[in-house]
C-alpha cells in the first residue's frame, strides 16, 4: 500500500483528500505546515507528497526546496497543490523541485491519474 503525505493547512481540503485517498486504498499521513511536512517526510518515508504551497510556519515552496536538497528525501515525488494558477507559479513549482503541479480546486480524477502514474493504484475499499 502506497503511503501518501498530505501537507495542507486547510482543514476542509485536508479532510477531503484524506478520506478520498483512504477510500482508494492509500495510507494517508497528514501534516499541517511545511516544517511538520519535512519532519514527517524524514521520519515516515512516504511514497509521494501532496504539498500545498501556501502554508504557515514554512511555506510549501521552501519545504519542497529543503526536501529536494536532502539526500534522504530528494527522491520522494512532490505534487504541488495551489490556488495559484499562473504559468509563473507552475514554473516556480518545478524550479523548487516539485515533480508535478495541480491547481485548486482540485480535479480529483486528474490528481489520481498523476498519483497513480508515480506510485501505482491503491487498493480501493468497497463502498
Q: Give the ranges where the chain is alpha helix by DSSP (H).
A: 11-23, 34-44, 60-69, 87-96, 108-119
Question: What is residue 88's predicted lDDT score, i.e. its pLDDT?
Answer: 82
pLDDT, tens digit (0-9, with 9 covering 90-100), for 34-54? 999 999 999 999 999 999 999
How far is it, in rounded angstroms, from Cα 35 to Cα 27? Answer: 21
How far is it, in rounded angstroms, from Cα 67 to Cα 127? Answer: 36
Question: What is residue 55's predicted lDDT score, i.e. its pLDDT?
Answer: 93
Cell numbers for 2: 502506497
Domains, the chain: 3-119 (3.40.50.2300)
Question: What is residue 125's predicted lDDT score, i.e. its pLDDT?
Answer: 63
pLDDT, tens digit (0-9, with 9 covering 90-100), for 83-126? 877 778 889 999 999 999 999 899 999 999 999 999 988 877 65
pLDDT, tens digit (0-9, with 9 covering 90-100), for 52-89? 999 999 999 999 999 999 999 999 999 999 887 777 88
Amino acid at each position: 500500500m502506497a503511503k501518501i503525505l498530505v501537507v495542507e493547512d486547510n482543514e476542509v481540503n485536508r479532510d477531503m483528500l484524506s478520506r478520498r485517498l483512504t477510500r482508494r486504498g492509500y495510507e494517508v499521513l497528514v501534516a499541517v505546515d511545511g516544517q511538520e511536512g519535512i519532519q514527517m517526510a524524514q521520519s515516515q518515508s512516504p511514497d509521494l507528497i501532496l504539498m500545498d504551497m501556501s502554508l504557515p510556519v514554512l511555506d510549501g515552496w521552501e519545504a519542497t526546496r529543503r526536501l529536494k536538497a536532502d539526500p534522504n528525501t530528494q527522491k520522494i515525488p512532490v505534487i504541488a497543490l495551489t490556488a495559484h494558477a499562473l504559468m509563473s507559479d507552475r514554473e516556480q513549482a518545478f524550479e523548487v523541485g516539485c515533480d508535478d503541479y495541480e491547481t485548486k480546486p482540485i480535479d480529483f480524477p486528474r490528481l489520481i491519474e498523476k498519483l497513480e502514474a508515480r506510485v501505482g493504484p491503491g487498493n480501493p475499499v468497497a463502498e
